[in-house]
Amino acid sequence: MSTQITFLGIGLMGDPMARRLLAAGHQVTVWNRTHAKAQLLGEAGARPVAELAQAVNGAQMVISMLEAGPTVQLVLQAALPALSPGALWIDMSSTQQAEAQSFHALLTAQGRRFIDAPVSGGVGGAAAGTLAIMAGGSAEDFAAAEPMLAAMGRATLVGPAGSGQVAKLCNQLIVGATINIVAEAMLLAQAAGADPAAMRAAIRGGFAESKILEVHGQRMLERNFVAGGKVATQLKDQRNILAAAQAAGIVLPLTELVTARYMTLAKTIPQADHAAALIGLEQLNPGQRVGAAPDQLG
C-alpha cells in the first residue's frame, strides 16, 4: 500500500532520494524553492507543486532535505498551518541537535509528529538506495516511517528526537578527520619517494582500510575534486560537531584542528569536494604534490 508523501528540497541529494520513493511505488508530491528542479521529477511520476502550502496539504508524511537548520525552520513554519493533524515530518537534512529538538517540540505541540533522520552515503548512495539513515524520535513514529526510509537506505533508530543528528555528526567527525589523514598519508608517500597509488593498494585490507581510503583516496590520486560532498558542507558539519561538543561539555581537540583546515580551504574552493583537503595540505608543503593530473574542481 502506497503512502502519500510530500518531499521538500530537490537538490543533489533530494532528487535521487525522491526517485527511490517513486520507484518503490509511493505517491510523491515534490516542492522546491526553485520550482524548475521539482518539475524535472514530473517525468518520473512525481507531482510537482509550486506552492508550499498546497504541496503539504493532505500529506501523511513530509520529508525535508534542505540546506541547513535555519532553512528547515523557515520551511516548517511556513508549512505548518497547512499540515494535516497527525502528519509525520521526517527531516533528513543535516542540522544541529538543538534545532532538531526544537522542530520536534514545535510540531508535537501542534498535534503533529517529527523524526530527524539525516543520512550518509552521498549522491551515489542516494541514487542506489543504500544511504545510512540515522533516526531520532519515538519508536512508534520510527516504525511508521521505516517502510518509506527503506526505499532510500538502511535506517536505524538511535534515540529520541535530536539523536539522529548526533549520530550524523559522529559520522561526519570521522569522515572529516579521516579524509585529512588519508591526504597526509598520500603526501607522505609522495614526498618520501614511494608511489602513493601502490602505497594505497598495499595497505588496503589491513587495519587502515576504510570507505574514505577507498573512495576519497582514489579521488586524490585522480585529483578529482568535483563535489560529491562539498568543502562548505563539511565545514558546516564541523561547526555543528563543535556546537554539540560544547553543549555536551566536552573538548574535541582533533575536530578543532580539522575544522581549522576546512575553514582555510573554504576561503578559496568552498564548492570543491571535501577530498580537496589534499590541496590544503599541499599548500602547507610548497613543492609537494600527489600525482601529475590537473585538478578537477567542477
Grid coordinates given for 267: 576561503
Q: Hey, what amino acid is at 209?
A: E
Convert 266-287 to b/e letters by CB count within 10 Å (16 or more is b): beebbebbbbbbbbbbbeeeee
> Residue 97 is placed in which grid cell?
541537535
- In DSSP terms, 131 is beta-bridged to 153
| Residue among 37, 168, 211, 267 flagged as catalytic | 168
Between the alpha carbon of residue 1 and those of residues 15, 27, 61, 147, the distances in Å are: 23, 10, 14, 10
Q: Catalytic annotation on 168?
A: yes
The span from the CA of 33 to the CA of 44, in Å, is 19
Instruction: Report how far residue 244's alpha carbon sits from residue 240's, in angstroms, rounded to the nearest whole number.
Output: 6
> Who's near 139: CB < 8 A, 6+ residues apart?
157
Q: Contact, 72 vs 99, CB < 8 A?
A: yes
User: Is residue 94 packed enough to be buried (19+ CB in 10 Å), middle (13-18) or exposed (0-12)?
Assistant: buried
Helices first, then strands: H and E counts in the chain: 13, 9
d(CA 6, CA 148): 12
Phi, psi values for residue 63, rounded to 5°: -110, 125
Rounded distance between C-alpha atoms, residue 32 and residue 49, angstroms: 8
Catalytic residues: 168
